[in-house]
Amino acid sequence: MTRKRFNIRSGSVRMFALSLLLVAVAGLSSCFKEKPIPMPKIYDGPDVFTAHIGPGYIKQLYFNAQTFQFVDSNSHFLYDMAFDCAPGSYNVYINGSKLMFACHTGKYNLQDVTSLNDTLSNGWKEEFGSGLPTQRAIGDWGTNGVSAGEVYLLNLGTDSDGNNIGFKKMQMGDCVGNSYTVTFSNLDGSDQHKVSVPRRSGRNKVYLLFADQQVRDLEPDNTNWDMLFTRYSIYFTDQNLPYLVTGVLTNPNKSAAYFMDSTSNFDSLTLNNVDASRFTPALDNIGYEWKLYGLGTSGRYTIKPSYIYVLRSDSRYYKMRFIGTFYDDQGNEGYPQFQIDELK
């Protein structure tokens, strides 16, 4: 008997196999419940955030209030001088987080300054966290970017272990072609360098470290953060004592804040409670006083949850307070917790 051979085309086989697969899948799907797709979390705060500054307060962190996120971090030991990038502004700063000091010499040649005795009677000045131009340690080094040529003495402050770094003499050149020029050396004239520091669009400042002569872009874009958790300098007038504190500074490009009070109910505050007249240009209005150091045997920080702050970010307003503890689960200090919520 002769068997008939079926001439089935490969395309028909594929279509037949696909039909069987679809039937099988349809049958299986009826055996399982549908799995819902998780929706992304929408912030309906106030959530609790932790600023991971860490032991030794070496790290500084940038927080965006509108997105409720930390957007960047770095070490505050990575610079000695900072240079204003705002159009028409030529402010120059020293690193207050290292407890640096600057002193006028009244001299205009680097070679004429050779010791710490070459200072004017107005003495050494530190860089305060307020960021106000009238409180800058270097002050007005020129006019509209044209240098007066004065030589400054700089105390470079302390390193991460608390050791004194040493001294430099420094002279600003003119700001030409959108770049600052600065010359610095040891007091005896050795290790002299002349560095060009380009201003950068979209940043509040650019930074220079003397040790490696590197210009650094440390900040995120100045439209992308509101608060800087960092170390900075203050001055206790009664004790005649410069001091380092850890606190919060605001972004001068888009943010401002004020201390509201310590008696209001945080949860019940609304946009109607904002007093716009209380905002000032000072950057340290949130500051450091939301915690209290226990003197004597305690030696630990206690958070003040009753201290309420109002933050403005562009045209939006937020309430903020610190809660909980200043420590992590292992007891290390430098981990403050805070709540923040938009006012409506």
Whether residue 92 sits in one domain with residue 197: yes
- The tally of domains found in the chain comes to 2
Range of the domain at 274: 40-78+219-344
CA dihedral 185→191→196→200, nearest 10 degrees, is -80
pTM score:
0.85
Distance CA 209, CA 251 (A): 22
Low pLDDT (below 70) residues in the chain? 1-45, 296-297
Whether residue 185 sits in one domain with residue 114: yes
pLDDT at 296: 66
Whether residue 344 sits in one domain with residue 271: yes
Contact between residue 89 and residue 82 where contact means Cβ atoms under 8 Å apart: no
Contact between residue 173 and residue 183 where contact means Cβ atoms under 8 Å apart: yes
Task: Give the 3-state secondary structure of 81-146.
Answer: EEEECCCCCCCEEECHHHCCEEEECCCCCHHHCCCCCCCCCCCCEECECCCCHHHCCCCCCEECCE
Read off the amino acid at residue 12. Answer: S
Distance CA 194, CA 171 (A): 9
Whether residue 117 sits in one domain with residue 191: yes
Quick check: is 66 in a domain? yes
Contact between residue 206 and residue 195 where contact means Cβ atoms under 8 Å apart: no
Q: Could you report the per-residue pLDDT of 57-82, keeping only the tens digit for each?
A: 999 999 999 999 999 999 999 999 99
Quick check: is 283 in a domain? yes
Quick check: is 144 in a domain? yes
Whether residue 98 sits in one domain with residue 59: no
Whether residue 225 sits in one domain with residue 212: no
Distance CA 257, CA 135 (A): 19
Whether residue 296 sits in one domain with residue 278: yes
Whether residue 249 sits in one domain with residue 212: no
Whether residue 93 sits in one domain with residue 113: yes
Quick check: is 32 in a domain? no
Q: Which of 231, 196, 203, 232 is nearest to 217 (CA)?
A: 203
Whether residue 157 sits in one domain with residue 54: no
Quick check: is 133 in a domain? yes
Quick check: is 155 in a domain? yes
Distance CA 58, CA 40 (A): 34
Whether residue 248 sits in one domain with residue 138: no
In DSSP notation, 226-275 reads: SEEEEEEEEEETTTTEEEEEEEEEE-TTTEEEEEEESSS-GGG--GGG--
Looking at the DSSP assignment, which residues form a beta bridge with residue 101? 126, 155
Whether residue 187 sits in one domain with residue 152: yes
pLDDT at 15: 39
Read off the amino acid at residue 268. Answer: S
Q: Could you report the per-residue pLDDT of 234-285, keeping only the tens digit for each?
A: 988 888 888 999 999 999 999 999 999 999 999 999 999 999 999 999 999 9
pLDDT at 18: 39
